[in-house]
Amino acid sequence: MVVVKDYSQVMPFRHEDGARLSEGVTYDIRNDRLLWVDIYNSEIHAIDNVSRDGREGRHMTIKIEGSQGRDSVGVVFLTDDPGIVLFGGKDGIGQWKVGSHEWEYVVKYSACSELAENPDRLQRLRPNDGNTTRDGKYILIGLMNDFNYDVKAIDGCILRISVSKGTVEMVWDGIAIANAVHWDHDEKYVFITDSLQHTIWRCPWDKQTNSLNRNGKEAWIDFKSHNKEFASPEPDGSDMDIANNLLYVTVWSTHRVQVYDITQRNKLVQEIILPVTTPRGSCCCLAGSDLYVTTANDEISDEPVQKGQGGSLFRLLCVADNKATSSKAYLNLH
């Protein structure tokens, strides 16, 4: 039986003027900080004391200005220093001192030999989503074609990056929109979101070597089978309740978040209904029992922003029965 929770009447928790593609929402329990990005506007946002002070908590933002004109920020990564976050930028992995205007690239994607050999392809790509391995040694990040290129082309890939060593390796080539990455409780499997295939793949994972076996991949969740009334239900950003092996997936174009028991193939256990005025849900994260959800604007371009709730951040109260925690590992900076 699928449990349905209706949040269709909830109002935005926060809405930034000019927001385009809010994404990558992440919770850091150490400082009660909520972070998210606007991919198209190339911004990182943070609110401190979000559980205590709500939307009135200290809000910080930084715009990442790139050397290539338009830049973009796809995802943030927590580190072992609560005052520093890493992010996936247009050129590579960047570092931001939270609350300041200081940032710099620490590893470039061009350190990947396959991408360095094809500079035209590298120019087309932008960061989308990713995660840090549980031991804090590596980042797995997906790249996809930028907004002014064909997003359906399979130029995309997944990279494994060591910030401390400065290494960048290709671990999955030929994927159109590589999205969220998560591990199960025991780290036996890694779950790779393949948005345009409407699929989450389960791949065997070797936690000793931090490597995935792509040849052993299985189509684990089929989103078309659970969203037949929608033309293209694409799994987007997600969060893992590690203790209970529950994966919370924001499904693009459906105004819903779906929760899957990843111990079983294609096992949908809960649906969370979002306002119909914001069908482009893009990412979610748990903060205790609450769920934060980012959304995209209907217009993702340089055209004037239409009025509405697109590009908003929503806070859904009492979604889960969880104690305050964070599903994200902290990357070791040294």
Q: What is the pLDDT along the chain (334 residues), one digit of tens a residue?
A: 899 999 999 999 998 887 878 999 999 999 999 999 999 889 999 999 999 898 888 999 999 986 555 688 999 999 999 999 999 999 999 999 999 998 999 999 999 999 999 999 999 999 999 999 999 999 999 999 998 899 898 999 999 999 999 999 999 999 999 999 999 999 999 999 999 999 999 999 999 999 999 999 999 999 999 999 999 999 999 999 999 999 999 999 999 999 999 999 999 999 999 999 888 999 999 998 999 999 987 666 666 666 556 688 999 999 998 776 667 899 999 8
Q: Is 52 annotated as a binding residue?
A: no
Domain membership of residue 52 (yes or no) is yes
Domain membership of residue 332 (yes or no) is no
CATH code: domain of residue 267: 2.120.10.30
Q: Is 184 annotated as a binding residue?
A: no
Domain membership of residue 174 (yes or no) is yes
CA 232, chain centre distance (Å): 19
Name beta bridge partners: 222. Answer: 199
Domain membership of residue 131 (yes or no) is yes
Structure tokens at 317: 């109260």
Active-site residue set: 236
Q: Is 129 annotated as a binding residue?
A: no
Q: What does the angle CA 129 – CA 132 – CA 133 come to, to the nearest 5 degrees? A: 135
Domain membership of residue 329 (yes or no) is no
pLDDT of residue 308: 59
Q: Is 128 annotated as a binding residue?
A: yes
Tell me how far apart the terminal alpha carbons of the chain are, to the nearest angstrom.
47
- Give 14: exposed, middle or buried? Use CB within 10 Å, 0-12, 13-18, 19+: buried
Asked if residue 262 lies in contact with residue 191, where contact means CB atoms within 8 angstroms, the answer is yes
How far is 30 from 326, CA to CA, in rounded Å? 9
Domain membership of residue 41 (yes or no) is yes
Q: Which residues contact 332 (CB under 8 A, 6 or more apart)?
A: 79, 80, 136, 137, 164
Which structural domain, as residue segments, surrounds residue 158? Answer: 3-316
Domain membership of residue 323 (yes or no) is no
* Residues 128, 109, 184, 220, CA torsion sign: positive
Name beta bridge partners: 235. Answer: 251
In DSSP notation, 8-75 reads TTPPPSEE-TT--BEEEEEEETTTTEEEEEETTTTEEEEESSHHHHGGGSPEEEEE--BTTBS--EEE
Domain membership of residue 307 (yes or no) is yes
How far is 64 from 73, CA to CA, in rounded Å? 7
Count of structural domains, the chain = 1
Q: Is 126 annotated as a binding residue?
A: yes
How far is 51 from 165, CA to CA, in rounded Å? 36
